[in-house]
Structure 1
C-alpha cells in the first residue's frame, strides 16, 4: 500500500472520529454497548486521539468499575501500540528515520532505547518524561524488537490505567478516595522519576 493511501485513510478516519466524538462518547456512556464494541471504540480513541484517552479511561471506570474499566483500556491501548508499531515499521520506516535524523536532540533518546530498550520504554510509559505519541512510533524506527516494545509498553501502562479508571469510578461518589488515589499516584511518579535519574547518573 502506498504511503499516501495510508495517510489518506488515517486522515479521513480521524476526521470522522473528530466530528462524531461527542455522540460516540455519549452513546458509550449511556447506552452501554457490548464489550467487543466498547473495545473497538476504545481502540479507535487511542488510534485517533480526538479526546484525551484519560477521559475515556475514566468513563470506562464509571461504566464497568475500576478493574474491568482498566482492563478494557489497557487491552485497547496495548493493541493500538502494536498496530502503530507495525504500521510505522512496514510503511513509514525509511521516511521516518530520514526525518528524525535531522533532529540532533533525538540522538540521546535513540542511544538510550537501543542500549537499554526495555527499561527505557518501561520508564517512558510509567511517567510522562517523553511525549507518549513519540514513544508510540519512535521504537519502530530503531532496531527494537516487537516483543520488547510490547512487553515494556504493556507493563508501563498498567499503573496509569488502574489509577484513571479508579478515579473515574469514584470521583463522583467518593471524592476523598479519589484524592488519596491521585496523591499516591503522584508520589509513585515522583519515586519512579527519582530512580530514573539515579539510574542515569550511574550510566553517565
Structure 2
C-alpha cells in the first residue's frame, strides 16, 4: 500500500522540479550537452518520462548538437529508458489493481487476452503510430501479463524510426535538409527487416510447439 502512495508523491516532486527548471536544463543541453554525454542521456530520459517540454524538441536539440547518428542514439536511449522505467513502476506498484479493473469488464479482458497473445508485434506497431500516446502503451502493457523482455525489445525497436527522425530533422536544419529523404528510405528498410525477423521468429516458435 505504501508504494502506491510513495510513487505518485515522488513523481509529483520530479514533475514540479522539471517544470521549475526545465528551461534551464534545456539551455544547459544546448550549451554543454556535447561535453557530458552520459548526463545528457539521463536528462533526456527525464524529459521523455515527464514530457513537460515536447520530446521532439529534445531530439532536435540532440541532433543539432551531436549530429544525426549520436544524436539519434541519445534520443532513442532517453525515450526507451523512460518507457522501461514507467513500465517497471506501473507493474511493480499497480498491476494487481489494474488486473482487477481489467477482469471486471469482459470486453476489456478479451481485448487484453488478444493483446497478450500478439504483444510483441502490437507494441511494435503502436510505437510506429504517432497518434497513439506513448503513456497508454506503457501503462496498458505493464498492467497486462506481457513479459518485461518482450515489452522492452518491442517498445525500444518501435521507437527507433521516430527518434532518428527527431535527430535528423534537428541536424538537417543546421546542415543538409536532404538527409530527411535518406531517413524515409531507412524507415522502409527498417520496417521490412523487423517484420521479416518477427515472422521468422514466430515461425520457429510454432515449429517447436
Contact 1:167 1:181 in 2 (8 A): no
Retained in 2: the 8 A contact 1:43–1:77? yes
- Determine the structure 1 residue equivalent to 2:135: 133
Q: What residue ranges of structure 1 are gaps of 5+ in the alignment?
A: 196-204
Contact 1:171 1:178 (8 Å CA) reproduced: no
More divergent stretch after superposition (37-46 vs 26-35): 26-35
Q: Residues 12 and 105 from structure 1, CA distance in 2 versus in 1: closer, same or farther, beyond 3 angstroms? A: farther
Match of 1:66 among 65, 68, 71: 68
Go from structure 1 to structure 2 and tell me whether the alpha carbon gap of 1:40 and 1:90 turns closer, same or farther (over 3 Å shift).
Answer: same
Distance 2:110 2:171 in 1: 39
- Kindly indicate whether the alpha-carbon contact (under 8 Å) linking 2:168 and 2:180 is maintained by their aligned counterparts in 1: no
* Residue 158 (structure 1) shift: 0.8
- Offset, 1:114: 1.2
> Is 2:26 the partner of 1:25?
yes
CA drift of 1:173 comes to 3.5
CA distance in 1, matches of 2:102, 2:15: 24
Q: CA deviation at 1:149?
A: 0.3
Distance 2:133 2:105 in 1: 15
Residue pairs, 1:1-204, within 5 angstroms:
1-32=2-33, 33-99=35-101, 106=108, 109-128=111-130, 130-175=132-177, 177=178, 180=181, 184=184
CA RMSD in angstroms, aligned pairs only: 2.6
**Deviation string for 1:97-144 (max 9, x for gaps)?**
344567777557524421201110110011235321101111111111
Distance 1:51 1:108, change over 3 A: farther
Shift of 1:66: 0.7
Preserved CA contact (<8 Å) 1:59 1:168:
yes
Return 5+ residue gaps in structure 2 as ranges.
196-209
Which whole-Å deviations, capped at 9, do the CAs of 1:60-80 have from their partners, x for residues lacking one? 001100110111111122222
SS of the aligned residue for 1:89 comes to helix
